[in-house]
Amino acid sequence: MPDKQITATQRELPLAFPELAPDAPLIPVRMVNEYVYCPRLAYLMWVQAEWADSADTVEGRARHKRVDAKADVLPEAPAEDEHIHARSVSLSSATLGITAKLDLVEGEGTWVTPVDYKRGKRPHVEHGAYDPERVQLCAQGLLLREHGYECDSGMLYFVESRERVLVLFDEILIEQTLAAIHGLRGVANIGRFSDAAADVATNTATGRIPPPLEDSPKCPRCSLAGICLPDEVRFLNEAPIAPRPLFAREQLSSPLYVQSPRAWLRKDEERIVIEVEKAKAGEARLNDVSQLVLFGSSGLSTPLLHELMKREIPVSFHTYGGWFVGHVVGLGHRNAETRMHQYRQSFDPKACLHLARGWVAAKIANSRTMLRRNWRGAAEEDGEEAFEQFAAVPSPPAGQGRGEGRASAEADAPQVAPAPSPASDLKAETAPIEAASARPGNDHAPDDLLRSLKEDAHHALRASSLEELLGIEGIAARRYFQNLTHLLRHDDDPSLSFDFMGRNRRPPKDPVNAMLSFAYAMLTREWHIALTAVGLDPYRGYYHQPRFGRPALALDMMEPFRPLVADSAVITAINNGEVRGSDFIRAAGSCAMSDSGRKRFIAAFERRMGHEVTHPLFGYQLSYRRLFEVQARLLIRHLSGEIPDYPNFVTR
């Protein structure tokens, strides 16, 4: 018997709703709206609890705050002629599996109409409104029916144009609404039988993030585009498209560092007030602060800590010497699914080795690029010009914790897919370096050194165990650190000249090592915060093994960025004359930065974090701080199986 064909004029009958598990969550009808707009958006917002504000969402929330100020309840058995006018009515249905807060319900007796407020003007489209809004309203109508009311239409009220649009709950719209509820339950994997039902009803996968929309005009307006990474995910799955510029939200706030050991911070309305020995020493607007960084025994009041946690602004604690002790965040990311993917993969030795190879090879590549671009040679002259040219580029590596040193390979690292069209953009970074290399007085980095590092990177990609990889990383690191001194400015003024004989730590014995240790602690903190913000556990890594208090994943992810961010900040601070010999305190064979030296170095580090680079895969420009978030999100996409590989960031 031939398969039954469904023609365009035939509609599928909605299936009876599957029985919900007793503890299954109810879907907010707002999420049904999002699901019709984009299934992936609903998944990110509801299942993964991701959120990012846009101007639209802020305005929408403010409007709803006003509407929700008063909450009414509907009468249980209204008289036939009873006038109904109820605001912010909460209704739920275990049968439908949805819940909603209705802006307004109007009617008489048992005949009622839901009214939903929408920002903006009425769109001039078929049916008077877009499908997501019509479906959301219909879901409200179905809830009213479930509660014994008669309801065959609803009203959308567009605030800006002050127009009402009537929406009839006809058979087609009701089917569309039920299918959307089924579909969202399916992708969220809710309900005992939700898998089968969702597959039949909407043909969606279950318990997996839906794929991004294809080249959709919805994406540029989507507040979650920077989290979803629609084009990046499609590109990394070899879709024949080049990513559009990232519509990432602007980071207008910046970290607030407090170094004074006697500082006390408190909240004063919308500001943070800094006091030293009860005298006001400074203040900052809460809105301008992205993270609070405290050194030594400086402290803060409980009301301020509560406010920072409420705003999800992390507070980091460092020792007097700059060692990263830990940080405090609010409730943290609610996305347990991401951590489940992370933990599952961390128990797979193959997955661990695969990721570790990529990180080490990328680090060696980036270290090699640092040496190649910024080599000053033994006979240094014209230091200021050389610095200016260096400052436009990335910097060298080093190590903290196990495998203290690690160098890097280059753009030929095979785990990195070929760039779409970044070659021309990368010239912005490469050109000043090439010019520096060509200047008289500047040697090129020795060919055999560059060749050796390139081979190290290739060996890293073929390492058969983490132990072997560790050995390769150590060899490359020694090569790199032995030559780091050739990137430093040597000046006739001894206070501006720094020697570097190799990496040492715990404690650092010379100024360059003191700065490197401090820079790695700052970089660890940045990655710790970036990973926590996207819902990953910074303490469970793949290359760095679990050890008490060690943020293993933060150390993993920062490997390729040690040369590009930490070492670069150190070299820039030295070559630019921002730190001097007098900025260091030496005692008992150890060396530490003074408060004033650290202040200037923090400024150099922050500049580096804000420095814009061209992403070698995606071709758009973004700051290192934003790049960390993008890379963390790409790791999630890889761990969840959405993209085949984690693309490391490797400069050319």
Footprint on this chain of ligand SF4 (rule: CB under 6 A): 38, 40-41, 44, 212-213, 216, 218-219, 222, 224-225, 228, 230
- Smallest gap from Cβ 38 to ligand SF4, in A, equals 3
- Smallest gap from Cβ 25 to ligand SF4, in A, equals 21
Tokens 């039949």 label which residue?
Answer: 200
Residue 255 in tokens: 């970290």
d(C-alpha 181, C-alpha 188), whole Å: 11
Q: Which of residues 209 and 371 has its CB atom nearest to ligand SF4 in the complex?
A: 209
- Does residue 154 contact residue 170 with C-beta atoms inside 8 Å? no
* 201-216 as b/e: b if 16+ CB within 10 A: bbebbbeebbebbeee
Beta bridge partners of 549: none
Summarize the chain as % helix, strand, coil (round to 5). 45, 15, 40
- Smallest gap from Cβ 421 to ligand SF4, in A, equals 21
Query: C-alpha distances in angstroms, 135 versus 94, 126, 571, 637?
Result: 19, 14, 58, 30
- Smallest gap from Cβ 625 to ligand SF4, in A, equals 21
Q: Which of residues 135 and 554 has its CB atom nearest to ligand SF4 in the complex?
A: 135
Q: CB within 8 A of 597, min separation 6: which ones?
A: 579, 580, 582, 583, 584
- Smallest gap from Cβ 561 to ligand SF4, in A, equals 26
Angle between helices 466-483 and 447-462 (to 10 degrees): 160
- Smallest gap from Cβ 215 to ligand SF4, in A, equals 10
- Smallest gap from Cβ 643 to ligand SF4, in A, equals 14
Q: Which of residues 233 and 536 has its CB atom nearest to ligand SF4 in the complex?
A: 233
Q: Which of residues 212 and 422 has its CB atom nearest to ligand SF4 in the complex?
A: 212
d(C-alpha 137, C-alpha 383), whole Å: 68
Tokens 């049968």 label which residue?
Answer: 95
Angle between helices 422-438 and 349-374 (to 10 degrees): 50
Look at residue 427 and give its three-state secondary structure. Answer: helix
- Smallest gap from Cβ 461 to ligand SF4, in A, equals 32
Query: C-alpha distances in angstroms, 546 versus 349, 559, 635?
Result: 14, 16, 19
* DSSP symbols for 115-148: EEEESSPPP-SGGGS-HHHHHHHHHHHHHHHHTT
Q: What angle do CA 648, 610, 283 make, to 5 degrees?
A: 140
Q: Which of residues 60 and 432 has its CB atom nearest to ligand SF4 in the complex?
A: 60
- Smallest gap from Cβ 166 to ligand SF4, in A, equals 28
- Smallest gap from Cβ 37 to ligand SF4, in A, equals 7
- Does residue 314 contact residue 292 with C-beta atoms inside 8 Å? yes
- Does residue 157 contact residue 118 with C-beta atoms inside 8 Å? yes
d(C-alpha 198, C-alpha 100), whole Å: 22
- Smallest gap from Cβ 216 to ligand SF4, in A, equals 6
d(C-alpha 531, C-alpha 544), whole Å: 15
Q: Which of residues 37 and 542 has its CB atom nearest to ligand SF4 in the complex?
A: 37
- Smallest gap from Cβ 332 to ligand SF4, in A, equals 22
d(C-alpha 6, C-alpha 266), whole Å: 67
d(C-alpha 134, C-alpha 132), whole Å: 6
The amino acid present at 73, given as its one-letter code, is: V
Q: CB within 8 A of 459, min separation 6: which ones?
A: 472
- Smallest gap from Cβ 243 to ligand SF4, in A, equals 12
- Tell me: cis bond preceding 546? Omega within 30 of 0 counts: no
Nearest one of 35, 7, 108, 208 to 637, comparing CA atoms = 208
Residue 174 in tokens: 């009701």
- Does residue 157 contact residue 115 with C-beta atoms inside 8 Å? yes
d(C-alpha 327, C-alpha 289), whole Å: 15
- Smallest gap from Cβ 302 to ligand SF4, in A, equals 38
- Does residue 28 contact residue 100 with C-beta atoms inside 8 Å? yes
- Does residue 171 contact residue 178 with C-beta atoms inside 8 Å? no
- Smallest gap from Cβ 120 to ligand SF4, in A, equals 18
Q: Which of residues 233 and 361 has its CB atom nearest to ligand SF4 in the complex?
A: 233
- Smallest gap from Cβ 326 to ligand SF4, in A, equals 33
Angle between helices 511-534 and 568-575 (to 10 degrees): 140
Q: Which of residues 218 and 344 has its CB atom nearest to ligand SF4 in the complex?
A: 218
